[in-house]
Amino acid sequence: MSSERGRLVVISGPTASGKSTLWRRLVELPRVCFSVSATTRAAREGEVDGRDYHFLSAAEFERRLAAGEFLEHAVVHGQRYGTLRAEVERALQDGNDLLLEIDVQGAEQVRRSGLPVVSVFVKPPSEQVLRQRLRGRGTETEEQMLRRLAIIDEEMKQAGDYDHVVVNDDFERMLAEVMGILGLEEAA
């Protein structure tokens, strides 16, 4: 894998796969930035506008979409999400790698953009572990969990479209693997 910088690094994976922990660690490396997405969903406790997401009204999202401001966009769990072109251009011009934590629909659009892209799909080690992690969060009813697991099943089918599939059996091992894939070991 080329370690030439100024790439879009797409990270996808089911909920509770550990993908957020992964990008939080990668973004600590020099010249690695995180792409702040736009969304119509409400901010959660502790989230900051402009840092976690650009929180937009549905009308504002629609206006920007019509103006061609999005590199990719998708509806996830009934809300709109998208990557702003301006966010991407800024990072690539500076020769930085830009991490995009986006869903499988968005990843497909980014792959077709013609920009330099490396895509990584993060898999949980097994459905059993995933169930335990979801239970561990303590925020799901049994019914919600079954619904989430069905969505996850669908998402897992897309893993083959990614350049790399990594399994989060041991987080530090997986982090090292991803850094190797991206040629970022020497940057650490």
- Residue in the structure block whose two tokens are 């996850």: 152
Distance separating alpha carbons of residues 64 and 148, to the nearest angstrom? 30
Separation in Å, CA 49 to CA 39, 56, 57, 138, 145: 10, 9, 12, 26, 29
Distance separating alpha carbons of residues 140 and 131, to the nearest angstrom? 11
181 within 8 A of 118, measured Cβ to Cβ:
yes
Dihedral sign (CA 39, 15, 18, 186):
negative
Residue nearest to ligand 5GP (CB): 106
Min dist. Cβ of residue 187 to ligand 5GP (A): 24
Min dist. Cβ of residue 139 to ligand 5GP (A): 12
* Residue placing its CB nearer to ligand 5GP in the complex, 83 or 168: 83
Tokens of 97: 């790698």
Distance separating alpha carbons of residues 59 and 124, to the nearest angstrom? 36
Min dist. Cβ of residue 140 to ligand 5GP (A): 13
* Residue placing its CB nearer to ligand 5GP in the complex, 102 or 156: 102
Which residues of the shown chain bind ligand 5GP in the complex (CB under 6 A)?
37, 41, 72, 74, 76, 81-83, 101-103, 105-106
* Residue placing its CB nearer to ligand 5GP in the complex, 97 or 103: 103
What is residue 160's DSSP assignment? G
* Residue placing its CB nearer to ligand 5GP in the complex, 72 or 97: 72
Min dist. Cβ of residue 16 to ligand 5GP (A): 11
* Residue placing its CB nearer to ligand 5GP in the complex, 41 or 164: 41
Min dist. Cβ of residue 96 to ligand 5GP (A): 18
